[in-house]
Amino acid sequence: MSVDPNSHVPIYEQIIQHLSGAIAAGVIRAGEPLPSIRNVAVDLVVNPNTVQRAFQELERRGLIETRKGMRVLAAKDAAVVATRQSEAASKARFEDGIAIGRAAGIPKTRIKALFDESMRSKGNGRRKAEGDKQAE
Amino acid sequence: MTSQKNHTSTISDAVIDMRGLGRVFGRQWAVRDVDLEIPKGRSLGLLGLNGAGKTTTIKMLMGLLRPTAGSVSVAGFDPAVDSLEVKRRVGYVPEQQFIYKWMRVREAVVYCKAFYPTWDDATCDRWLKTLELDPHKKVKHLSKGMVVKLAFVLAVSHQPEVLLLDEPMAGLDPIAREEFLDGVVQTICDRGVTVVFSSHTLGDVQRLADEIGIIHDGRLLVHRDVDDLLTQTKRIHAVLPNGDVPTIEMEDVVCQRVRERELLVTVSSYGEDVLGQVRSAAGADHVEVEDLVLEEVFKDYVRGWRMAS
Amino acid sequence: MMRTLVWRDFRRFVPTYIAVGIMFMIPYLFVAVDGAYIAMSGRHHSANWLRDDLLVASYFNVIIAIAICAIFSATSIGGDVGDKTLGFCRILPVDPLIDAASRFLVMLSSSFLAIGISVLVFMVFRSIDHERQIHQDDEQRLVLMGSAAVCIGVGWLFSSLVGSVGIATVAGIAGAILVPFALELFDVSPSNWLYVFTYSVISIACIVAGTAIHVRRFQNSS
């Protein structure tokens, strides 16, 4: 895990995104411990207060729970919750994109076509990367 | 210009408290009317151009400069009155180090140790080892990065309640900088120190700070949680339909300027209503909102101040 | 804490001690040159030339020791102000008066040592030489002691004021020359109580003022 200290996304937000991503993808499964605040802070070289706030936010969202002895575990339905939240986040991004298009007066059908195009370009990118690997 | 504090704190838990703080050099106010409270365990990053007043502020906190106006309290003591009490509780790393060059690392440690009742040998030895400082080496034979690391060890071994870091990483190579930052992070983890630091490297500020203070011309232009500052400060681009430059009277405006046919308005607390206000004031039907990195936020505050004065 | 400060100040003086040692050798170097000259010329000479030369050299060293007091006192504060290492002392929780006391103590004991050694050597050579008596009386001793005090006082003041070892040393020596000159001008003889009084007042005033400036700089200058 690493953070970009020069991003417009606060480090706090970056940690949340990263950990909930890890939980959604099953890297950290329900009931498994998360790294300690101290370890995360020292690893990323960021203020432990920031890490703590990220953990609090993850707990509020129901992704992690704090047990006795300050052990932090991924919550029972963490993966489901995390996936749902990731869905909501990507939906919000789509909505932003649609809003930009609408504001510039682009018709709905064209926006939909642009969406499909982006989906394909992502896919193309992945296939290309695999092709490169085989070529090596 | 508004100065906002979004954290919930009471006066009693403020480890550092500045009220109406000011300092004059000759006829020039180097620092003026600074009000700042920092609760225990939090870290404040000070941003400002050279000569903006960061060093003067930090020196007043350390009791190395007497304020001309206002008052300061650090760990419950007034540095202008009880400077010894303050110095016993503060670890200070300035930009330039003046440790006696003839001293060996070990001698510098023994020398400093004599002045602190709370000095902890274990902490000191651990850090000397971690930072690979050879106790037998003379200070004059250390590289700049090494001297700064030694200054860090000397500043944390008496287990201070407060760390004052005045651009200590200026001119260090990336590895020494990382090690220094790492030391600060670990000290915050282990001891819950309250930190005030200034740096030109905004990435470092973003890593370390809970709160950010932007100082310009000796004034504190904004003091805010770093997360709020980054998520709520946004730049609105509005295309001006007929080239007229509107004046936008809003409290939230940090900076406003025109580039070509585009009006750029940076606001401190972005929301739909703010966007609507800018849109209608500019008479624009096409507006875009831009997220800002810390550097842009900083620049816009300075630009805004320059335009206003 | 005081022990550490005193250690620091003695350690700080090491290069000065070395320089002082070399300065003390200079008059004896002249003795050696004189000896070589006599040996080479092969002329008839007084059998006691060495005894005479050594006595004169050791007397010179007493004068040098007084000038050296100015060097010590100039280095005690001026050295740290000049190379900004005072900035390192200022961030430590040390009372500026204690810091000044340590500097003063080490400077004074070094000065006493320099004068003591030079006087001792002089007295040894004088005791060997019975025929030739260098005129020495209480008045002369008073003048030498007064000069040393002025060197120390003025050196201390300038050391704290300008933060340059060179300037402070020159100022200290100049003070030691100017004060007796001024007293002569006003017809104050060493036997007059005003003589001792003037020397004391000047030295003490300079030390107090120098200390005050040091404390002030320590507390709140940049």
Q: Which domain holds residue A66?
A: 11-78
pLDDT at A121: 76
Range C169-196 average pLDDT: 88
* Residue among C7, C84, C93 whose CB faces B115 most closely: C93
In this complex, whether B and C touch, counting 3 or more CB pairs under 8 angstroms, is yes
Among partner residues A12, A41, A100, which is closest to B185 by beta-carbon distance? Answer: A41
Q: Which pLDDT score, from 0 to 100, does residue A67 have?
A: 76
Distance, in angstroms, between B116 CA and closest chain C CA? 7
Chain B residues whose C-beta sits inside 8 Å of any chain A C-beta? 41-43, 178, 181-182, 185-186, 188-189, 202-204, 206-210, 226-227, 230-231, 286-288, 291-295
Partner-chain contact B62 C91, CB within 8 Å: yes
| Residues A15, A54 within the same domain | yes
Cβ-based neighbour number of residue B61 at 10 Å: 26
ipTM, interface predicted TM-score of the complex: 0.86
> Which residue, among C41, C47, C105, has the nearest Cα to C72 in the 3D structure?
C105
Residues A115-128: pLDDT tens digits? 888 888 755 544 44
What number of other Cβ atoms are within 10 A of residue C22's Cβ?
A: 10
Q: Which residue has the tokens 């944390």?
A: B156
Pair (A105, A74) in one structural domain: no
Instruction: State residue A131's pLDDT score.
Output: 41
Q: Output the pLDDT for position A132.
A: 43
> Do residues A73 and A31 lie in contact, with contact meaning Cβ atoms separated by under 8 Å?
yes
Can you give the pLDDT at residue A130? 42
Query: Strands B262-267 and B253-259, how do they pair?
Result: antiparallel
What tens digit of pLDDT does each residue of A52-66 get? 999 999 888 888 888
Tokens of A94: 């789509």
Calculate how close chain B gets to A57, using CA atoms only, in Å. 13
pLDDT confidence of residue B12: 54
Chains C and A touch (3+ CB pairs under 8 A): no
Residue ranges of domains in chain C: 2-33+47-130+139-220
pLDDT digits (tens, 9 = 90+) for C131-182: 666 566 777 888 888 899 999 999 999 999 988 899 999 999 999 999 888 8
Q: Measured between CB atoms, does B51 come within 8 Å of chain C?
A: no
Last residue of a domain, one of A78, A104, A125: A78
> Is pLDDT at A112 greater than 80 in this prediction?
yes
Edge-to-edge strand list for the sheet holding B14-25: B28-39, B14-25, B69-74
Give the Cα separation of C95 and C214 in Å (integer): 11
Average predicted confidence (pLDDT) for chain C: 88
Q: How far is B128 from chain C (nearest CA, A)?
A: 19
pLDDT score, position B258: 86
Longest distance between any two alpha carbons in chain A, whole Å: 57
> What's the CATH code of the domain at A27?
1.10.10.10
Q: How far apart are CA C83 and CA B100, in angstroms?
A: 9
Q: Which two tokens stand for residue B268?
A: 């401190």
Name the closest residue on chain A to residue B205, using Cα atoms: A5
What pLDDT score does B51 carry? 87
B168 closest CA partner among B46, B52, B66, B73: B46
**Beta strands per DSSP E along A10-92:** 64-66, 72-74
Contact C1/B114, CB-based, under 8 Å? Answer: yes
Nearest to residue C149, comparing CAs of C183, C181, C192, C197? C197
Which residues of C fall within a CB distance of 8 Å from B80?
220
Number of domain units in chain A: 2
DSSP string, chain B: ------S---GGGEEEEEEEEEEEETTEEEEEEEEEEEETT-EEEEE--TTSSHHHHHHHHHTSS--SEEEEEETTB-TTT-HHHHHHHEEEE-SS----TTSBHHHHHHHHHTT-TT--HHHHHHHHHHTT--TTSBGGGS-HHHHHHHHHHHHHTT--SEEEEESTTTT--HHHHHHHHHHHHHHHHHH--EEEEE-S-HHHHHHH-SEEEEEETTEEEEEEEHHHHHHH-EEEEEE-SSS-------TTEEEEEEETTEEEEEESS--HHHHHHHHHHHT-S-EEEEE--HHHHHHHHHHHHHHH-
**Same structural domain, A17 and A73:** yes
In chain C, the N- to C-terminal Cα span, in Å, equals 25
Q: Is there a domain that residue A85 lies in?
A: no
Can you give the pLDDT at residue C44? 64
What integer pLDDT is reported at residue B238 of this predicted model?
A: 87
Tell whether A15 and A72 lie within a shared domain. Answer: yes
Average pLDDT, chain A: 81
Cα separation values, B3 from B250, B258, B296, C93, Å: 15, 25, 18, 34
A114, A74: one domain: no
Whether B306 has its CB under 8 Å from any CB of chain C: the answer is no
How far, in whole angstroms, is CA C174 from its chain's centroid? 12
- Say whether A10 and B227 touch across the interface (CB within 8 A): yes
Cα angle B257-B261-B265, degrees, rounded to a multiple of 5: 30
Record the pTM.
0.85
Q: Which of A78, A101, A125 is a domain's end point?
A: A78
Task: Determine, yes or no, domain membership for A68.
Answer: yes
Cβ contact, residue pair C91, B59, below 8 Å:
no
The number of CA neighbours under 13 Å toward the Cβ of B275 is 15
Q: Which domains does chain B have, with CATH numbers?
A: 11-228 (3.40.50.300), 234-291 (no CATH)
Q: At residue B188, what is the residue type? A: I
The mean pLDDT of B253-258, rounded to a whole number, is: 88
Query: Can you tell me the distance from the alpha carbon of A105 to that of C204, in angstroms, rounded to the nearest whole number?
Result: 89
Is residue A126 assigned to a domain?
A: yes
With cut-offs at 50, 70 and 90, classify the pLDDT of residue A69.
low
Mutation for A interface: B15, B206, B289, most A CBs within 10 A: B206
Helix or strand or coil: residue A38? helix
Per the DSSP assignment, residues forming a β-bridge with B28 are B25
- C222 and B65 within 8 Å at the Cβ level: the answer is yes
Decide if pLDDT at C130 tops 70. Answer: no
Instruction: Please give the share of chain A, as a percent, with pLDDT higher than 70.
Output: 87
Residues of C in contact with B59 (CB under 8 A): 222
Give tens-digit pLDDT for C19-56.
Answer: 999 999 999 998 888 888 888 877 666 667 788 888 88
pLDDT one-digit tens code per residue, A72-81: 777 777 777 7
- Same structural domain, A123 and A72: no
In the predicted structure, residue B8 carries a pLDDT above the cut 90? no
A19 and A56 within one domain: yes
Neighbours of chain B (3+ CB pairs under 8 A): A, C
Is A74 part of a structural domain of the chain?
Answer: yes
A36 and A16 both lie in a single domain: yes
* C-alpha distances out from residue C116 to A17, A51, B178, B241, Å: 77, 67, 55, 93
Query: Does residue A59 share a domain with residue A98?
Result: no
Q: C93 and B88: CB-CB below 8 Å?
A: yes
Contact criterion met (CB < 8 Å) for A8 and B293: yes
From B179, which residue of chain A is nearest by alpha-carbon distance?
Answer: A45
Band of residue A26 on the pLDDT scale cut at 50, 70, 90: confident
Nearest to B98 among C7, C12, C88 (CB): C88
pLDDT on residue B30:
94
The H-assigned helical ranges of C91-192 are 96-128, 138-162, 165-185
Judged by CB atoms closer than 8 Å, whether chains meet at B99 and C88 is answered as yes
Q: Is the pLDDT of residue C123 over 90?
A: no
How many angstroms away from the CA of B151 is the closest CA of chain A? Answer: 20
